[in-house]
Amino acid sequence: MLGASPPLQIKHLGTVDYGATLKAMQDFTLARGPNTPDELWICEHPPVYTLGLSGHREDLHQDLGFSLVQTNRGGQITYHGPGQVLAYPLLDLARRGYFVKEYVHRLEESVIKCLNAWGLSAYRVPGAPGVYANPQDPQGHATWPTLLQRWQDTGHPLVDPPGVNFAGLAKIAALGIKVSRHCTYHGVALNVAMDLAPFGAIHPCGHPGLQVTDLRHLGLVLNSAQVAQDWAQKLALHLAA
């Protein structure tokens, strides 16, 4: 029933170690019972690469001295660092009444609606979970089919399945989740104002050559604290509806 979900407790953790946060999420999920309140953890991490269950260590092709942590989330390789806001929803999906596919859609939609509210356009790319933006026209209102057609018209071939066609878009939010006994952890990373160079040492999310961007490079000057407050509220609403 619309609006029937229990309140979501939002916790702003600041800058915290990735490994310690992962263990805390796992411990929370293991210990929770049917009446445990759902929580949303918002934080940042010091520089670290993380590898999902589908990832390959070969996707880290340059050693920059950062740790590489094997995780149990879905997805492949990504980078976390200062200037990136992480949202970790710890939810009981059975209690909330929706399945994993809808959960992923709600996570992505919270980012898309935030970017729209800040005057930026945002996109989903079929076959590549996450949220994307157009670095050449961040405020443009072209639809996904239009972007694909423009990409082809400029001489770039379309990619047939199982390939993924990003049509010149750049990733601004990466998604990787884990569901255990209908309960979620891990989550979404939104790039705010980062040093993007570490992404150049990997194949982001397993895609060689995939561009990565952040709000600053799209012309939006916000600090992580502002983004964390705004996004947390929108995410809580999207997860509750």
CB of 30 closer than 8 Å to CB of 182: no
CB of 133 closer than 8 Å to CB of 172: yes
The catalytic residue positions are 205
C-alpha span between 133 and 138 (Å, rounded): 6
Residue with tokens 């939104």: 190
SS3 19: helix
C-alpha span between 241 and 227 (Å, rounded): 21
> Phi and psi at residue 135, in whole multiples of 5°?
-60, -25
C-alpha span between 118 and 209 (Å, rounded): 27
- Residue ranges of E strands in 46-143: 48-51, 68-70, 77-80, 84-90, 123-125, 128-133
CB of 159 closer than 8 Å to CB of 127: no
Max CA distance (Å), the chain: 56
C-alpha span between 71 and 65 (Å, rounded): 19
